Structure 1
Amino acid sequence: MPSQRQQKIAEQLAQLAADYLSRESNRQSLITVTRANVSPDLSKATIFFTVLPDSYEDIALDFAKRKRVEFRSFVKKKTELRRLPFFDFEIDYGEKHRQHLDTIEI
């Protein structure tokens, strides 16, 4: 169970990631940040996102991973965190599966 501090930092990082990715992307695809997970020691953070259309997932993931250093600088400017975590970006397949289940009729 994440601590209250972890949850607060994760929410803040998800919002910053959404702002950063929308500003830096080429607008050929829609990147939506769904959540962020932060390790208990706050040393690692994983940002999860979805991409529309699906054909741009690999391109968007490569883009996000290339921009990790710039994103870290962006977070440093926008927050007062003393120690910044190592950032990783992943496609949120859990959200994709949930959306697929929503389309299945009972």
Structure 2
Amino acid sequence: MSRKKERLGEQIKEIIASFVVENAPTDLGVVSITRVELSKDGSKAKVYFTVLPEGNAERVKDFLEENKRVLLSKIKKLKVKTIPSLEFEEDREIKIMEKLWEEHGEV
């Protein structure tokens, strides 16, 4: 990934994370935006998140989807050529790594 796309991904991650901290209902639990992956042409951004308790993942995804328009308006302020469409997904890679660490006594 190019430096420019990396930087844009980080900016999008920060915008969404700030929005979640300021606006997510407390009963969703602890939500963390873990990473943003941009498509090659920058037209799509896959936003990964984790949540505790884990059972709230679908509710978090619904919250993010419901607020997609607001998030896109905040991203537009970055003044980038292409505003990416947003897709939200629970970050399962982190869960896999946690299990591996647990199996090897690292956690």
What's the TM-score, normalizing by structure 1? 0.89
Give the Å deviation of 1:67: 1.3
Which one-letter code corresponds to 1:47 in the other structure?
Answer: V
Moved over 3 A (4+): none
Secondary structure at 1:37 match in 2:
strand
Measure, in 1, the Cα distance between the counterparts of 2:103 and 2:37.
29
Measure, in 2, the Cα distance between the counterparts of 1:13 and 1:68.
12
- Does 2:88 match 1:96? no
Residue matched to 2:7 = 8
Residue matched to 2:57 = 57
Residue matched to 2:68 = 68
Give the Å deviation of 1:64: 1.0
- Does 2:79 match 1:80? yes
Residue matched to 1:41 = 41
Unaligned runs of 5+ in 2: none
Measure, in 2, the Cα distance between the counterparts of 1:44 and 1:82.
13
Measure, in 1, the Cα distance between the counterparts of 2:26 and 2:87.
21
- Does 2:20 match 1:21? yes
Q: How many residues end up aligned between the 2 structures?
A: 104
What's the TM-score, normalizing by structure 2? 0.88
Measure, in 2, the Cα distance between the counterparts of 1:10 and 1:24.
21
Contact 1:50–1:91 (CA under 8 A) maintained in structure 2: yes
CA RMSD of aligned residues (A): 1.3
Measure, in 2, the Cα distance between the counterparts of 1:76 and 1:55.
32
